[in-house]
């Protein structure tokens, strides 16, 4: 198929790997900060092909994993209201809150529907005028523009029973916070979808101020291998910069239309990230003029007290300080069927990817 | 007056159709007996009386609750017959008799029911099995989702085939065969669900495989294991196959066939086709010396035209299934945890 098989060509993969091996001298660590990259790297068995000099680490790239348990608890609290229909992306429903999950709430009668787009949620709102329809908005710049488009549509169509509960976050702040915390990495495999929206400029600080290499990568194995090659080359040459490998989707200026929609609808706010704490201007909240669509402001709800993550080291894993295998819960009490932490639930989570693809590797 | 034609019945299922009274009788004779047509069912005794000569019986049961009830490539009825026939056939048995129990939601269309029953009859005829006993219950509106069907099946099993279902005789070097492309059923069902708004001409691979399997068994006495790769997909069967065993297995991803449309849909939704359900695909473990003759036999059947060897049994990493990925990397192949859910981004 066009755009799939071409990027999974074994002979080309072999050639890139040969080139990587030929230039890689220093021991380096590269971090991906996108759940899609984490999954692809493990699904295609990329670590098994790389020379020992290159270590791949998973960073805070899975939106479900970096969100707080309090966020899940509040979503659950909304779902327990009799006049509320929850609409959400599928990944979220199995994430454990303090005492329940949205999946468990479906079992007790909550009306929770998986949608593929906020526009589906708007249709549900129009079809159910006597209910409050809450869309749980999660994700980085990849999904934030579609939430913005949904809110703009809802305002235009005067849909008064539609609300967004935003956990949207933006990407550059955690990448800088990790370096500030002293996490030892040599370069970032920068997120492809996020960059399609933002463009490449958001990473310039990382190469200029922090001296770290950044390559924006696509999601197919050849994309990732080529990005790794470009990073190794930059690091070996001592020329850190931002490069775009995923040029078939990412333009330096990004998607101006999407950025304008985000700007129209959202303000920046300080937000909490698992493992990193509160980061300045790292989350998105609805602007005051759209506050009638803001679930947090418009729907009163009692949220249960947030329980601690007992023994879970998701935070350190998200910082690349530890690997899932270092966690004493991993593959013992914490498995995809019975997840303790968010990193094991989400298909894009580092623990899930390690469990599924390289547990015994 | 006994109603014997569906045209004279109500056009919707009523609670009375499951009451055991006149309406039930009309439904049984006008629909089920008419289509499932065989002497054992016609007797309408409390139990079907069966004659089986062989000393081993294979017995299985399965319930079908698919949504939507009608999908490209089949319906809940074809699935209910094929599913149970295949469970018997992959055990090495010759499927003979099925039972069929219906739980129907009040208000379900009589025409739709007739279509389902007709498909079941056609599928049973094709597979050479008889539906010899059954039951019908009608529940209040909202108490079930349109229609649920349970089928049980009995097949006769030769003594020399009794280890096929457990795979006891599997040994290092045996070849692993799959009879064609994977993921068609799961993706056809998903595409048929209205909320997805995806249009595709994907068809379920739902089919009775017993005749194809018989050909393969005729070609080799050394088929060590068979299982249909239904829910959980190919990866789950392969992972189960090695679980707690003293051997491992190796699969070559590039030899696994995936329909381009299935591949595309999986990419959009973030699904792994290895975990997507099939209803017409089996995993077969065969002695390496017989692999070619089994492949020839499978390929001679319409349902096995694209059969290939996808891997082999190995003695390293016992208990684990490993896959050599499309770009040459290696990783473990694990069971599916929960359900596959669409990704966020």
What is B97-147 written as a DSSP string? Answer: EEEEEEEEETT-BHHHHHHHHHHHHHHHHHHT-EEEEEEEEEE-TTSSSSE
What is A151-209 written as a DSSP string? Answer: HHHHHHTT-TTEEEEE--B-SHHHHHHHHHTT---SEEEE-HHHHHHH-SGGGHHHHHT
Strand order in the sheet with B321-324: B223-228, B282-286, B175-178, B308-314, B248-252, B321-324, B330-333
Length, in residues, of chain A: 361
Q: How far apart are CA B31 and CA B37, in angstroms?
A: 10
pLDDT of A200 reads: 97
The answer to whether A91 contacts B338, with C-beta atoms less than 8 Å apart, is no
Q: Where are the domains of chain A?
A: 1-310, 314-358
pLDDT of B134 reads: 94
Interval B24-37 mean pLDDT: 91
The answer to whether B338 contacts A120, with C-beta atoms less than 8 Å apart, is no
Interval B97-106 mean pLDDT: 97
Q: Of A228, A192, A231, which is closest to residue A212 (Cα–Cα)?
A: A231
* Average pLDDT across chain B, whole number: 92
pLDDT at B338 over 70: no
Residues from chain B contacting residue A63 (CB–CB below 8 Å): 344-345
To the nearest whole angstrom, how far is the Cα of A137 from the nearest Cα of chain B? Answer: 10
Residues 178-207 of A with CB under 8 A from B: 193
Interface A–B counts its CB contacts (< 8 A) at 116
pLDDT of B344 reads: 52
For chain A, percent helix, then strand, then coil, each to nearest 5? 45, 15, 40
Strands (E), chain A: 28-32, 54-58, 84-88, 111-114, 132-137, 162-166, 187-190, 213-216, 242-244, 266-273, 277-286
What is this model's ipTM? 0.79
pLDDT of B192 reads: 86
Partner residue facing B344 (CB), from A45, A48, A63: A63
Residues from chain B contacting residue A116 (CB–CB below 8 Å): 196-197, 342
pLDDT of A361 reads: 44
CATH topology for the A1-310 domain? Rossmann fold (3.40.50)
Residues 15-44 of B with CB under 8 A from A: none
Cβ-contact A177, A279 below 8 angstroms = yes
Interval B311-321 mean pLDDT: 94
pLDDT < 70 stretches in chain A: 1-2, 347, 359-361
pLDDT at B33 over 60: yes
pTM for the full model? 0.86
The answer to whether B267 contacts A222, with C-beta atoms less than 8 Å apart, is no
Measured at the alpha carbon of residue A227, what is the angle toward residues A226 and A230, in degrees to the nearest 5?
A: 90
What are the b/e assignments for B266-286, b being 16+ CB within 10 Å?
Answer: beebbbbbbbbbbbbbbbbbb
Chain A contact present for B320, CB below 8 A: yes
Query: B280: cis peptide before it, omega within 30°?
Result: no
pLDDT of B44 reads: 83
Query: CB within 8 A of A52, min separation 6: which ones?
Result: none
Domains and CATH numbers, chain B: 6-161 (3.30.1330.10), 175-333 (3.90.650.10)
Residues 8-27 of A with CB under 8 A from B: 8-10, 13-14
Distances in whole angstroms, Cα of residue B218 to Cα of each of A355, B88, B265, B290, B309: 41, 17, 37, 11, 18
At B196, list the tokens. 């997805």
Residues 51-80 of A with CB under 8 A from B: 63-64
Residues from chain B contacting residue A140 (CB–CB below 8 Å): 345
pLDDT of A333 reads: 78
B165-218 tens-digit pLDDT: 999 999 999 999 999 999 999 999 988 886 666 677 889 999 999 999 999 999
Q: How far apart are CA A5 and CA B176, in angstroms?
A: 24
Residues from chain A contacting residue B341 (CB–CB below 8 Å): 90-91, 93-94, 114, 347
pLDDT of A105 reads: 95
Chain B contact present for A96, CB below 8 A: no
Cβ-contact A188, A242 below 8 angstroms = no
pLDDT of B54 reads: 73
Query: CB within 8 A of A225, min separation 6: which ones?
Result: A13, A16, A17, A20, A46, A49, B327
To the nearest whole angstrom, how far is the Cα of A35 from the nearest Cα of chain B? Answer: 8
B238-270 tens-digit pLDDT: 999 999 899 999 999 999 999 999 998 888 888
To the nearest whole angstrom, how far is the Cα of A267 from the nearest Cα of chain B? Answer: 22
pLDDT of B193 reads: 80
Cβ-contact A227, A178 below 8 angstroms = no
A264-286 tens-digit pLDDT: 999 999 999 988 889 999 999 99
Query: CB within 8 A of A104, min separation 6: which ones?
Result: none
Residues from chain A contacting residue B327 (CB–CB below 8 Å): 8-10, 13, 44-46, 49, 221-222, 225
pLDDT of A307 reads: 82
The answer to whether B264 contacts A47, with C-beta atoms less than 8 Å apart, is no
What backbone phi and psi angles, to 5 degrees, belong to A143?
-105, -20
The answer to whether A8 contacts B337, with C-beta atoms less than 8 Å apart, is no
Which residue in chain A has the smallest CA separation from B268? A116
The three-state secondary structure class of B261 is helix
Cβ-contact B57, B172 below 8 angstroms = no
Element (H, E) at A256: helix A256-265
Q: How far apart are CA B272 and CA A278, in angstroms?
A: 35
To the nearest whole angstrom, how far is the Cα of A135 from the nearest Cα of chain B? Answer: 13
Interval B81-86 mean pLDDT: 98
| Confidence band of B5 (pLDDT split at 50, 70, 90) | low
Partner residue facing A359 (CB), from B332, B338, B343: B332
């Amino acid at each position: 198929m066009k755009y799939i098989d071409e990027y999974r060509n074994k002979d080309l993969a072999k050639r890139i790997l040969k080139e990587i091996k030929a230039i890689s001298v220093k021991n380096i660590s590269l971090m991906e900060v996108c759940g899609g990259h984490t999954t692809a790297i493990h699904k295609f068995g990329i670590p098994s092909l790389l020379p020992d000099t290159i270590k791949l680490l998973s960073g805070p790239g899975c939106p479900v994993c970096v969100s707080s348990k309090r966020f899940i608890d509040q979503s659950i609290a909304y779902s327990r209201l009799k006049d509320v229909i929850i609409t959400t992306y599928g990944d979220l429903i199995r994430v454990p809150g303090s005492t329940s999950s949205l999946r468990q709430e479906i079992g007790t009668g909550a009306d929770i529907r998986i949608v593929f787009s906020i526009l589906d949620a708007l249709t549900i709102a129009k079809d159910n005028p006597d209910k409050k329809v809450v869309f749980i908005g999660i994700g980085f710049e990849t999904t934030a523009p579609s939430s913005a488009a949904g809110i703009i549509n809802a305002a235009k169509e005067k849909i008064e029973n539609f609300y967004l509960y935003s956990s949207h976050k933006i990407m550059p702040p955690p990448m800088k916070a990790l370096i500030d915390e002293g996490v030892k990495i040599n370069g970032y495999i920068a997120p492809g979808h996020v960059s399609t929206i933002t463009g490449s400029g958001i990473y310039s600080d990382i190469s200029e101020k922090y001296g770290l290499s950044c390559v924006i990568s696509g999601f197919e194995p050849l994309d990732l291998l080529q990005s790794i090659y470009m990073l190794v080359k930059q690091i070996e040459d001592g020329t850190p910069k931002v490069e775009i490998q995923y040029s078939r989707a990412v333009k330096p200026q990004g998607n101006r239309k999407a950025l304008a929609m985000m700007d129209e609808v959202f303000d920046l706010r300080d937000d909490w990230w698992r493992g990193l704490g509160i980061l300045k201007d790292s989350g998105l909240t609805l602007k005051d003029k759209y506050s009638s669509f803001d679930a947090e402001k418009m729907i009163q709800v009692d949220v249960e007290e947030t329980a601690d993550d007992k023994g879970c080291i998701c935070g350190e894993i998200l910082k690349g300080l530890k690997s899932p295998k270092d966690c004493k819960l991993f593959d013992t009490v914490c498995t995809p069927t019975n997840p303790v932490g968010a990193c094991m639930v989400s298909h894009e989570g580092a623990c899930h990817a390690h469990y599924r693809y390289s547990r015994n590797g | 007056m006994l109603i014997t034609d569906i045209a004279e019945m109500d056009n919707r299922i009523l609670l009375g159709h499951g009451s055991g009274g006149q309406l039930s009788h009309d439904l049984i004779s006008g629909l089920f007996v008419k289509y499932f047509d065989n002497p054992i069912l016609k007797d309408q005794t409390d139990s079907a009386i069966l004659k089986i000569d062989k000393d081993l019986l294979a017995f299985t049961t399965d319930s079908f609750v698919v949504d939507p009830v009608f999908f490209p490539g089949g319906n809940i009825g074809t699935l209910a017959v094929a599913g149970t026939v295949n469970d018997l056939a992959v055990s090495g048995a010759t499927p003979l008799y099925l039972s069929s129990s219906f739980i129907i939601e009040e208000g379900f269309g009589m025409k739709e029911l007739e279509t389902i029953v007709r498909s079941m009859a056609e599928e049973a005829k094709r597979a050479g099995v008889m539906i010899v006993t059954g039951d019908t219950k009608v529940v209040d509106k909202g108490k079930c989702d349109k229609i649920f069907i349970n089928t049980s099946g009995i097949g006769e099993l030769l003594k020399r085939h009794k280890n096929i279902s457990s795979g006891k005789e599997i040994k290092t070097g045996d070849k692993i065969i799959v009879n064609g492309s994977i993921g068609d059923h799961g993706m056809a069902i998903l595409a048929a669900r209205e909320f997805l708004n995806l249009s595709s001409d994907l068809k379920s691979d739902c089919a009775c495989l017993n005749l194809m399997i018989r050909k393969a068994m005729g070609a080799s006495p050394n088929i060590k294991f068979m299982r249909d790769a239904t829910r959980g997909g190919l990866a789950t069967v392969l992972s189960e196959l090695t679980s707690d065993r003293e051997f491992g297995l190796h699969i070559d991803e590039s030899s696994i066939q995936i329909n381009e449309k299935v591949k595309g849909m999986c990419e959009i939704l973030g699904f792994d086709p290895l975990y997507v359900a099939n209803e017409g695909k089996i995993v077969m473990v065969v002695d390496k010396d017989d692999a070619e003759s089994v492949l020839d036999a499978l390929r001679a059947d319409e349902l096995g035209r694209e059969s290939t060897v996808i891997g082999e049994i190995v003695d390293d990493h016992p208990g684990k299934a490993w896959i050599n990925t499309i770009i040459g990397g290696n990783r473990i192949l694990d069971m599916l945890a929960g359900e596959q859910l669409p990704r966020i981004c």
